[in-house]
Structure 1
Amino acid sequence: MFGQRGIVSGTLEADGGPLPGANVIIKGTSIGTQTDFDGNYSIECQVGDTLLITFVGYDTREVLVTPALLGFEEIPYSAPREAVPMIKSIAYSDAVQRASDSLHSIPSLNSSPYMYTKRNGYRSFRGIKSIKQSKNIVTLKYSDGELYVDGTYKGSMQLRTITDKNLPSNGINPYASVLSTNHRVNTSIWDNNIRGGLSLNYGIGNDNYLSTVFHNEGISANFNTQGSYKIPLQIQLGYNSATDNLANLNGYQNLLLGRQLTNAQFQENPLLALNGNESISKSKNFRTAVSAEKSFGLDFKLIGTQSLVISDRDEEYRLNAGSFGYESDYRSGKRFNNLQSNTALTFQTNFEILNSIGVNTTSKIQWQHSEIDYDFNEVGNENPLRTSQELNQGIFEMQHNINLDYNNHVFLNLTNTSIASTRQAGALLVPQVSISAVPTEIWYGLDNGFIDYINVSARYGETVSASGLFYDNYAHQSLLLEDTQALQLLNNRDLFYPEDLALESGRSFEVATEFRLFYNRLRLGFTYENRKDDHGIFPVRLGDGFVLDNLANTRTKGFDISLRTININGYDDSARWTTEVTLSRKRTKTSSLLNGSDRVSIAGFSNVNANLIPGASAGVIVGTAFERNDNGVIVTDSQENPVIAEGVRIIGDPTPDFILGITNHLDIGRWNVALSVDYQQGGDIWNGTQKALNNFTDADESYVEEATFINIKSLSATYELVDEKKWNNSGHLPFFNSFKISVFANNLATSTAYRGATPYSSAFDNQSAMGIQYFNTPLQLETGFSIIAKI
C-alpha cells in the first residue's frame, strides 16, 4: 500500500501551437516547473494538490490533482489476500510495465529519469543487461550509466491572413481606410518560424523499487542495479529562446498612430508605415538541475535537488526619424536579468499498519533565492533617461505531508506548509486536508462492465503565496490617459514589489468525482470549487504614478466538467477516434477593497476601464452610459438624441456564462488528424476600436458588445515516418525516435457576435484588460506545415 504520489505530465497549447515558458506551480507552495519549447511539462505532486497554470496574457487555470489524474485508477481488481503460486507468463511482465509510479513502485516509462528506457517491448530496454526471475522476485541488472541525448527540432512555415470579416467596420475618421482590406494594405504576412532545442542528460546509479503487482502477498518485483553503494544522480540541462515581434503594439503604432501623426511620405506609403516601428521582445532561458537520492532499505528515502534558472529578456522600442514628431530616431530598451536558485531536501518514508493501511510521509525543506537586475534607458527625447534596479529575496518553505491508504479504497491526505520570506511576513500554519474514495474497489459488484471505476474526493485547504520582485502586468500604464488621448505613446511605469506587503492568501473547498463507463470507453469528471482569495496585490493610483498594495479580497465559485469518449478503438490500436469535451463555468466577485474605496480601476483608460467593485464581478467595465427612466427606457432630448448620464456606471461584465472546448483525435496507422473547436457563451467586450473609428462619439455603453464566439481553433494532419512497431520487433533503435510531418490550419473559421472581435487578446495584450478591446491585432487565419524530429 503506497501513498497517492506521482507525476502529472502533459502539453500546454495556445492558439493552435505549443505554449513554452508557462508556469505550472503547486498552489500554496513555491514548487513548480516551466513548459519547455514544445509545451511539455512534468511535475511531481500528490492527490489533493492544486496545480496553477499561469502565463502572461492568459487567465490562470487551476487543476485539482485526483487519483485518476495520477493514473491510480489503473490499479487492478483487489480481492482478499491469500498466498498464490508464482505466475510464469507474459502477463506478469505486462503488469510490471503497467504498474503506477508512486513511491517505491515500478517506474512509469513516462516519468523514469532513465530516458533511454522509453521504448515499448519489455526486453528491448537499453541499459538493462539482464533479467533474472526467481521465486517471487524479478531482478533487472542495469548498466552503470549512459550518456544519452534527448533532443527535439521543430521547424514551421506559416502563412497568416487577416480576412475582411475579422476587421472592424469603417468609421468616419481620416485613418479608417488603413484598417480596411482595400489595395492600400497588405494583409498577408509570411512568418518563418523555426524552433528547436537540445537537452543533455546523464543518469548513473541504482534504483530500488517494490510493488505488489497483483495485490497478493508473496508476489512482488524488485528492480536492482549493481553497485548499491552508489548514489543515483541525475543532471538536466535546458535552454530555450523566443522572439516576440509585438504584433499588437507595432500594428497599433504603425497603422494607427503612424498614419495620424507622421509626415506625408509615410501616409502615402502604408507599407512603409507598416514597417516603421521595429519594436521587439527577445528572451533567453537556461535551466540546470541536479538531483540525488539515497534509499535506506525499502521504506526510507532521502532526495536532494539543486536547480538554477538564468533568464534574460530584452525589450526594444524604436521609432524612425521623421515619425511621431521625432526628428531623429527614438530608442528605448529594457533589460531584465533574472536568476533563481532552488535547494530542496526531501525525506520520504513508507510503511504499513495492520496489513491494510499504507502510510506514506514526506517532509520537505526548501530555500529559494531570486535576483533581478533591471535596466531601462531611452534616447531621442530632449532629456535622455536611464534607470536601474537591483533586487533580491529569499523564501524558506517547509512542508510536511502524510498519506493514508486503506486497501486502495480510501485515501486521506494531510499537509501543512510553513513559509518565510526576507521581504514579507511569513506563515507558520497553512493546512490542507483531502479525502478520496473508490467505491468500485469497496463494493466489487459496482465493477460490472457498465460502471468500471468511480472516484469521489473532497478537499479543504489554505494557501499562501509570496510575491515576486517585478510586477509584469502592464495593464495600469494606460489608466492615466483617456481613450481619446491614447493616440500618443505610453509612458514607462514599471513597478516593483515593495517589502511591506502581506502574503496573498486563500482558502478553498473542492469536491470532485470521476466515472468510467462501458469498459473505460467513456470518462466523465466533475469538479466544484469555492475559493476565497485575500490580500490580492494590485496597482493603486498615487499622484501621477502607481504603487503596489494589498488591495482586494475576492471569491470564486464554479465548476468544471470533462468528458472523454473512445468512439472507435480498432484491433491493436490500428484505428482510434477519441473526443474530449471540457466545459467551465466560474465567476469571481470582489468581496471587499482593503483601502476603503468604492471602486479601483485595474486596466483600460481613465474614462472607461475594468474595475474591482465590492459585490460585483471582478473586472466589470465602467464608463459613460445613457440616462434612463424608471422603466429602463433611454431618455432623449428635444432633438430626439439620447441623453448621456452624468458620471460613470457599470456598463458591462466580461465574465462569460461558460466556456466550451471540443477536441477530436483520429489515429489510423501512423496518421493523426486533430480538430479543436472553442466556444464561449456570453460576456461583454467594450469595443474601443469601433469608438475610435466613429470619432469617439456616443456613450461608452453603445460600444459594449456581446463576447459570444465560436472558432475552429486548429485542424491538423500529421504523419509519423518512423515505424515504431518495426523497430521494436527488430530489437534495435533508429536514429530518430520520431520524425513527423504536419500540415495545419489555425483559426480556420470564426463566428463572432460583432465584427472585429478578437477572442484571444485584450487591450495592449495585458492580462487584466480582458473585456477591453482597443485596436487589438485582428484574428488571423494561419496555414502552414511543420517538421518535428526527435532523437
Structure 2
Amino acid sequence: MKKIYLIIPLLAANCFFAQDSQLYYSGKFFDRKGKTQNFLKIFNKNSGVYEMTDEEGLAIIAAKPYDTLVWNSGKDQLVTHSYNLKELKDILRNQVKNEQVKNIYSKAYDSLVVKKEVDQYSIKKSRALGYKNTVNYITKIRKIKQKNDTVYKLTQLDQRSLFINGIFTSSFDVKSRNSIPQMQNRFVQGRSENGALVWKGPETDEMFSFGSEISTLGFDHQPYEFDQNGRLIHLSNGVSPAKAYDNDLFKTTVGFNNQLKINAFIKKEYLEMFRLSLDLGQQKDQMYFTDQFNLINSLKTKLNANFSGFALGFAFNYEENKATNANRIGFFNRVYQNSLLTPVSFSNSQKLLLSNGLQRSYSRFADNPLFLFDQENKYNFLSNRRQFSINAAKTFGNFKLNINQSYESDTFRNFDQYKPSTYGFENGLWNERVQNNSLYNSNISGNYAFGNYDFRNTFGLNFILNDKRSEIFNSLNQRKYIYQRTSQDYLFNYNAEIRGNDLDIGINLGNSFYISNTSDKNKYWLPKANAYITFENVFNWRRFNLKAVGAFTKLSSEPEITRSYASYATTLLKAENVHQYFPIHEVETFKGLSNTDMRELKYGFKLDVGYRISLEAEYFNRKILNDIFPIYENSQLKLKNLADHTYRGYEVNFSYNNFRIGDNFFSTQKFSFFKYKDVVDRVANGFNNLPLSGFNDIYKTITQGEVLGAVMGSYFERNGKGELIIDEFGYPKKAGGLKIIADPTPDFVMKFNHNFTFKRLTLDINWEWKKGGQLWNGTEAVLDYYGRSKTSGDERNIKNYVFQGVNSNGNTNQIPVDFYNPNQNVSENRWTRYGYLGVAENYVQKADYVRINSISLSANIPINQTKTSLALTFYVNNILLWQANKGADSNQNFYDLEDGRGLDFFNLPNYKTYGCMVSFKF
C-alpha cells in the first residue's frame, strides 16, 4: 500500500504538466497571389515568435488560443482557436502515412531455399567484356551489342538535357557635338568702302564678314528676295536694331540600339553536344546634323555540334546598313564649312530657292547647307554584308586537325550628288558608285603534341588560302575597276614548354611562305622566334613572379585590294578649291608591286606581386621596308613602293586589382604609358616631300629623316638668329615655298582606368592625357580670312601694333600697323593679306588634351533564384575636359581619312554621348 502512495505524486505531477503542454498551429500559407511560397515569414504577434514556410508553403508555429498570426508584411492575418491547435507530436504523427505491414519478398531468402540455376551463356562467363576504348565505369547501360564470340560493346545510357537562355539589351543615347571654333556674331557681310564699313548683300556675292556692326543696322522690312525682313540699313527713326541670325546646324539627337541573343543547347551529362545561337540587332545612329542618321539591321546565327570526337561549327552573319548620306566625297565637311562661314546677317533657314530656281545662299561662291541636305533620295548610302563559315575539328590522339572555310560577300552603294547651282557644280553632278567584294578564306591547320607537363613539344603546320575579288563601278565616267588576288600562306611552327621548380620556359620557332598572284616576288623566308622565361616565387616570396619575353618576327604583306584610295584626289587641289572635290578615280592596279616587308623586334618583362599588383613593360622596334603609297602619274592614280620607315617606342602598364576599401567595397586601378615615333629612313628618288594626305599647298608628307606624316606648309621668313623679317608695310614677311612646320606625333599618351565595386554596383572611369604633338588648324585660318572667327572679331580694331622682328637691313622693326584699317582695301588687313590659308606656320597649334573617354555606373539586380537578372548601366562618353588647340577635337581626322591626323580643315566635331542601357538576362 505504501508503494501506491509513493506513485500518486508522480502521476499528479505528470497530469499537471500535461495540462500546460505547448500547442502549435499547423497549416499552409499563401502569398498575395494565392500561391504557396517557400521561406514565407509567419509571425505570432502575441508571443513574438516566427517561423518560415517550407517548399510546400507549410509552417508549424507555437500558438495559444486567440493568438494572431500575420504574414505577407502584415497584409494577411489569422486568429487561432483552440480547435486549430494541437500538440507537436500529434501534428507530426498526422503527417506520416499509416499502412499495414506487408509480407516481405527477399531474393536472398529465395536463393537459399531454391536451387540456383547457372547460365553458361552469361556475360560473366565470357572470356572478355569489351573492346578498345570501352568505358570501364559504365553504370547505366543503354545497349549491348555483340562484336564477336567473346567481345561485346556496351553503350552507356546518358542523360540529355535541353537548356535555353539569352539576353535582351536595349540602350538609348543622347548625342551632342563636342567643341567647335569660337565665332564672332557682331560684324555683318561686307567690307570697307571709302573709309566706312558697309553691309553688302548676297546679291553682291560678297564673301567677307568685314562689314558694319550689326547693332548699328536694322531691317527696312521692304520686299527683298534674300531676306523676308528686308535689307539692312543704318539705324534711323522707326528702325529697330537687327539681331544676328543663328545658323547653327547642330542639334541634340537620340539614338537607340536593341539586341536579342538566344542560346539553345543540349548537354549530355556535363558535355555540351549541340548549341544554336541567334543574335538579332537593330541600331539607329542619329548625327548631330539635322535629319541625318543611319540604320543598321543585323542577324547572326551559329550552330555548334560535338559527336563522335568531331567538333563542327556553322555560322551565318548578315548586316544591312542604310544612311541618309555618307562622307565619301567630303559632303559633311562641305556642309559644316558653309555653315560656319555664313555671315550673321544672313539666315540659311528662311527658304532654299530663289524665284529663278537657283539656291538661295549668301553668295554664288558659297552654298546654303540646308540646300545641300535637301535631296530626293531618303538613303544615299546602302550596304549589305553576308558572311558564312564552317569549321571542323578532330583530335586523333596527340594530333589535332582543324579546318575552317569562310565566304563573305559585300555590296556598298553610294549615291553622291550635288544639285544644280551648287558652288563648283553649277549644272549639278551625280555619281552612283557600286563596290562588290567577294572574299574566300580557307584555313587548314594541324599540330602534333607530345611530352608531359614538365616538357611539352608541339609541331604545327598551317595553310591559309585567300581569294579576294573587288569590283568598283562609277556611273559618272562609266569606268569599272576589277581587282583580284589569290594568296597562299604556309606557316611552320614549333613550340616547346619547359616547367621546373619555380621556373617556366617557353620557346616558339617558325617560318612562313607568302605566295601571291599580284606580288612582284614571292617570299619563302619569313622566320619568327619568340621566347619567355618565368621565375616564380623570386627571393622565396610567394606569388612574386618575374617574366621576361622577347620576340623577332618577319612578315610580308600587300595593300588591301578592297580599300579605296580615291580620297587621295584632295592632293590635286589647293585648299581654296576644295569645292571642286569629287573623287571618282580608283587605283589602276594592285599588280607589279614588291611586297612590303616588316621586321619587328620586341622585348620586355612582366612582374606580378601577389594576386593584385602587376607591372608590364615592352619595347618595340618595327622596320617597314618598301612601304606602298598612292601617287598620280599621267592623271592616273597608282601605287608605288616609295619609302622605308622605322616605328619604335615602348609601353608600360600597371594594375592594382581588387584593392579592398571597406566591406563589400573593392577597387581596381590600371595605368598605361605609351610613347612612339615613326621616322622615314629612305625615300625613292624623285619622291621626297611627296604628299601623303591634304591639299597641294598644305599636306602631310613623306620626307627622309622626318617623322612619317609631318606637316608641310608655308612659313615666315627669318634671319640666321631666328628673328622674323618684317616687310615694308610693317607685317612679317611670308617666305617662298614650303617646309616642315608641324609634327603630329605626341610626346606620350597616358591612359587611366578606375573601377569601383560596391555590392552590386560598379563604377568605371576611363580617361587619358595626351601630351605633345602638333596640328595645323586650317579651319581657324579660313575663318580668320573671311572675318568669321572670334579672333578676327575681337582684334580688328587694334591699331598701331608693332610686330617684333627686323627689317631687310637688320634693324629692329618700328612700323606700326592697324589690323583692319577701313581706309585700306579689305585684302590688306591682318587676316587677308597672306591669302586664303594665311601663313600655315602661324596656325600650328598644340594638340594636347585631357579627355574622359567614358564614365559608367552599372547595377546588376537578380530577379529570382535562377540566373535571371537585370542590369542597368548609365554612361557618359567622350567628355573633352581641356584641349590646347582652338576648334575641333585633335583626334578627328582630315576628311575622315586614315592618314589625316594632324590636319584640321573643317574637321567634323566629335560626339558627346549620354546614355542608358538595360540588359535582361534569362
Q: In 1, distance between residues paired with 2:266 and 2:433?
A: 39
Aligned pair 1:272/2:362, yes or no? no
Provide closer, same or farther for how the CA distance between residues 430 and 610 of structure 1 changes in structure 2, counting only shifts above 3 A: same
Matched positions, count = 614
| Secondary structure class of the residue paired with 1:403 | strand
1:293 corresponds in structure 2 to: 393
TM-score (norm 2): 0.61
Aligned pair 1:414/2:505, yes or no? no
1:239 corresponds in structure 2 to: 318
1:505 corresponds in structure 2 to: 597
Equivalent of residue 467 in structure 2, options 369, 387, 397: 369
TM-superposed deviation, 1:574: 4.3
Report if the CA contact (8 A) 1:412-1:434 is conserved. Answer: yes
Q: Write the letter of the residue equivalent to 2:844.
A: V
Q: In 1, distance between residues paired with 2:761 and 2:271?
A: 39
Report if the CA contact (8 A) 2:867-2:921 is conserved. Answer: no
Aligned pair 1:434/2:530, yes or no? yes
| Secondary structure class of the residue paired with 1:486 | helix
Give aligned-pair identity as a percent.
Answer: 17
Aligned pair 1:358/2:465, yes or no? no
Q: In 2, distance between residues paired with 1:638 and 1:322?
A: 43
Report if the CA contact (8 A) 1:374-1:388 is conserved. Answer: yes
| Secondary structure class of the residue paired with 2:478 | strand
Report if the CA contact (8 A) 2:698-2:714 is conserved. Answer: yes
TM-superposed deviation, 1:445: 4.4
TM-superposed deviation, 1:167: 2.2
Report if the CA contact (8 A) 1:741-1:787 is conserved. Answer: yes
TM-superposed deviation, 1:190: 1.1
Provide closer, same or farther for how the CA distance between residues 600 and 151 of structure 1 changes in structure 2, counting only shifts above 3 A: farther
Aligned pair 1:314/2:408, yes or no? no
Q: Write the letter of the residue equivalent to 2:310.
A: I
1:669 corresponds in structure 2 to: 759
1:618 corresponds in structure 2 to: 708
| Secondary structure class of the residue paired with 1:768 | coil
Equivalent of residue 342 in structure 1, options 441, 447, 458: 441
Q: In 1, distance between residues paired with 2:326 and 2:873?
A: 27
TM-superposed deviation, 1:439: 1.1
TM-score (norm 1): 0.70
Q: In 1, distance between residues paired with 2:209 and 2:486?
A: 52
Unaligned runs of 5+ in 1: 1-129, 133-139, 210-225, 379-384
Report if the CA contact (8 A) 2:567-2:583 is conserved. Answer: no
Q: Write the letter of the residue equivalent to 1:710.
A: V
Q: In 2, distance between residues paired with 1:463 and 1:550?
A: 16
Question: Cα deviation per residue 1:145-196 (whole Å; 9 max; x = unaligned)?
Answer: 9797767644423231455xx324559984779xx99633243231424354
Q: Write the letter of the residue equivalent to 1:167.
A: P
Report if the CA contact (8 A) 1:744-1:785 is conserved. Answer: yes
Provide closer, same or farther for how the CA distance between residues 625 and 161 of structure 1 changes in structure 2, counting only shifts above 3 A: closer
Aligned pair 1:488/2:580, yes or no? yes
| Secondary structure class of the residue paired with 2:252 | strand
Report if the CA contact (8 A) 1:206-1:230 is conserved. Answer: no
TM-superposed deviation, 1:307: 1.4
Q: In 1, distance between residues paired with 2:624 and 2:254?
A: 42
Report if the CA contact (8 A) 2:322-2:379 is conserved. Answer: no
1:113 corresponds in structure 2 to: none
Q: Write the letter of the residue equivalent to 1:436.
A: Y
Question: Cα deviation per residue 1:531-557 (whole Å; 9 max; x = unaligned)?
Answer: 100111100221334211111111011
Q: In 2, distance between residues paired with 1:202 and 1:422?
A: 44
Equivalent of residue 599 in structure 1, options 669, 677, 689: 689
Q: In 2, distance between residues paired with 1:204 and 1:310?
A: 34
Q: In 1, distance between residues paired with 2:371 and 2:693?
A: 28
Report if the CA contact (8 A) 2:701-2:712 is conserved. Answer: yes
1:683 corresponds in structure 2 to: 773
TM-superposed deviation, 1:337: 1.7
Provide closer, same or farther for how the CA distance between residues 243 and 196 of structure 1 changes in structure 2, counting only shifts above 3 A: farther
Q: In 1, distance between residues paired with 2:158 and 2:448?
A: 25
1:167 corresponds in structure 2 to: 181
Equivalent of residue 776 in structure 1, options 907, 913, 917: 907
TM-superposed deviation, 1:414: 0.3
1:65 corresponds in structure 2 to: none
Q: Write the letter of the residue equivalent to 1:480.
A: L
| Secondary structure class of the residue paired with 1:236 | strand
| Secondary structure class of the residue paired with 2:580 | coil
**What do you get for the CA RMSD once the two structures are aligned?**
3.7
Q: In 2, distance between residues paired with 1:545 and 1:168?
A: 40
2:489 corresponds in structure 1 to: 397
Unaligned runs of 5+ in 2: 1-136, 140-155, 190-206, 211-242, 273-304, 343-347, 786-835
Q: In 1, distance between residues paired with 2:525 and 2:157?
A: 45
| Secondary structure class of the residue paired with 1:417 | strand
Aligned pair 1:546/2:637, yes or no? yes
Question: Cα deviation per residue 1:390-449 (whole Å; 9 max; x = unaligned)?
Answer: 332211111111111111611111011111112113211110001101011xxx444524
Q: In 2, distance between residues paired with 1:612 and 1:626?
A: 22
Q: In 2, distance between residues paired with 1:769 and 1:227?
A: 49
Q: In 2, distance between residues paired with 1:446 and 1:273?
A: 74
1:476 corresponds in structure 2 to: 568
TM-superposed deviation, 1:284: 3.1
TM-superposed deviation, 1:588: 0.4
Q: In 1, distance between residues paired with 2:416 and 2:849?
A: 34
1:31 corresponds in structure 2 to: none
Question: Cα deviation per residue 1:672-718 (whole Å; 9 max; x = unaligned)?
Answer: 22222121111110111111112225311111111111112222222
Equivalent of residue 256 in structure 1, options 294, 315, 337: 337
Structure with higher RCO (Cα < 8 A, 6+ apart): 1
2:193 corresponds in structure 1 to: none
Aligned pair 1:529/2:620, yes or no? yes
Q: In 1, distance between residues paired with 2:269 and 2:553?
A: 37
TM-superposed deviation, 1:320: 3.9
Provide closer, same or farther for how the CA distance between residues 527 and 509 of structure 1 changes in structure 2, counting only shifts above 3 A: same
Question: Cα deviation per residue 1:501-555 (whole Å; 9 max; x = unaligned)?
Answer: 11111111100211122x2222111010011001111002213342111111110
Aligned pair 1:643/2:748, yes or no? no
Q: Write the letter of the residue equivalent to 2:361.
A: Q
Question: Cα deviation per residue 1:625-667 (whole Å; 9 max; x = unaligned)?
Answer: 1111111111111222111112111111111111111122223
TM-superposed deviation, 1:596: 4.2
Aligned pair 1:183/2:246, yes or no? yes
Q: Write the letter of the residue equivalent to 1:509.
A: L
Q: In 1, distance between residues paired with 2:769 and 2:678?
A: 20
Equivalent of residue 589 in structure 1, options 673, 679, 687: 679
Q: In 1, distance between residues paired with 2:310 and 2:642?
A: 49
Deviates more, 1:533-542 or 1:451-460: 451-460
Q: In 1, distance between residues paired with 2:524 and 2:404?
A: 24
Q: In 1, distance between residues paired with 2:384 and 2:661?
A: 44
Provide closer, same or farther for how the CA distance between residues 274 and 753 of structure 1 changes in structure 2, counting only shifts above 3 A: farther
TM-superposed deviation, 1:242: 4.1
Bigger Rg, structure 1 or 2: 2
Provide closer, same or farther for how the CA distance between residues 535 and 243 of structure 1 changes in structure 2, counting only shifts above 3 A: farther
Question: Cα deviation per residue 1:235-293 (whole Å; 9 max; x = unaligned)?
Answer: 22223344565479343222434877996664379673473468854433222221111
Alignment of 1:22-61 (within 5 A): none
Q: In 2, distance between residues paired with 1:199 and 1:423?
A: 43
2:890 corresponds in structure 1 to: 759
Q: Write the letter of the residue equivalent to 1:190.
A: T
| Secondary structure class of the residue paired with 1:470 | coil
Report if the CA contact (8 A) 2:551-2:601 is conserved. Answer: yes
Aligned pair 1:715/2:855, yes or no? yes
Question: Cα deviation per residue 1:731-783 (whole Å; 9 max; x = unaligned)?
Answer: x554xxx6433222223343111220322211101111110110011233322
| Secondary structure class of the residue paired with 2:310 | coil
Provide closer, same or farther for how the CA distance between residues 142 and 582 of structure 1 changes in structure 2, counting only shifts above 3 A: farther
Q: Write the letter of the residue equivalent to 1:459.
A: A
Provide closer, same or farther for how the CA distance between residues 636 and 412 of structure 1 changes in structure 2, counting only shifts above 3 A: same
